[in-house]
Amino acid sequence: MFKSGTGYTRLGVNVDHVATIRQARGGQNPDPVEAAVLAELAGCDGITIHLREDRRHIQDRDLAILKRTAKTRLNLEMAATQDMIKIALDIKPHTVTLVPERREELTTEGGLEVAMNMDYLKKVTSLLIDAEIKVSLFVDPDLDQIKASHRVGANAVEIHTGKYAEAKTKARAEEEYGKIVNAAKVAQKLKLEVIAGHGLDYHNVRAIVEIPEIVEVNIGHSIVSRAVLVGMERAVREMKMAMGGLL
């Protein structure tokens, strides 16, 4: 987790897929709130949840309880809709990460189109920041989107690492990695906090945390998948070890 000369890389744990398992049966277990407690006990630096319009996994109840119980920082991923903005202003998580959202997608498939929606996103960002909520925009490693994020007044960008994580060849992975490096450098120059996430796992995370500008990674599916087999605390500790190059 420590990068030579650049400090500590935070780990945010996304517990959405704990709720996915729960919703498969419509009961109360497993509870993503309990999973968040265990993740924090294991040393994570924040909890991330995505409250989707269709409520396919995380529910309003989860958000409300996590706001009261999370000991680290609560990051709410959400679409920039009026309903979600109202919820965020009521709950006031530490951070709101604005993401694109389509009902038919299995998971978030790409970054937010900031450059084409600057006027609206500037209003949303201003409203949230005025309520003392930190605003991050989930964007592709595209320099135009990074610059647009700065212009709308965001505090941070979370760089979408999906194409890097899913690359089938070494050459493609290196190409996508280069885009992430360049995007992170530009974002830092614009005084945006730089976060990364999507598709990161125990094998590919180390290269991302070695990018000096990246101060945090958000990881969900790979940690929850591992937790099914070994438990949440061990899964989180192993991810922290992987980030430090110890796995």
Catalytic residue among 17, 40, 50, 101: 50
Catalytic (active site) residue 160: no
Tokens representing 139 are: 């964007």
Catalytic residue among 17, 40, 57, 77: 77
How many angstroms separate the CA atoms of 223 and 243, rounded? 13
Q: Is 132 noted as a catalytic residue in this protein?
A: no
Which tokens is 67 given? 């706001």
Facing residues of 110 across strands? none
In degrees, rounded to 5, the angle at the alpha carbon of residue 110 between the alpha carbons of residues 107 and 116 is: 135
CA dihedral of 26, 30, 33, 35, whole degrees rounded to 10: -150
117: CB partners within 8 A, 6+ apart: none
150 is catalytic: no
Catalytic residue among 160, 198, 216, 238: 198
Active site members:
50, 77, 198
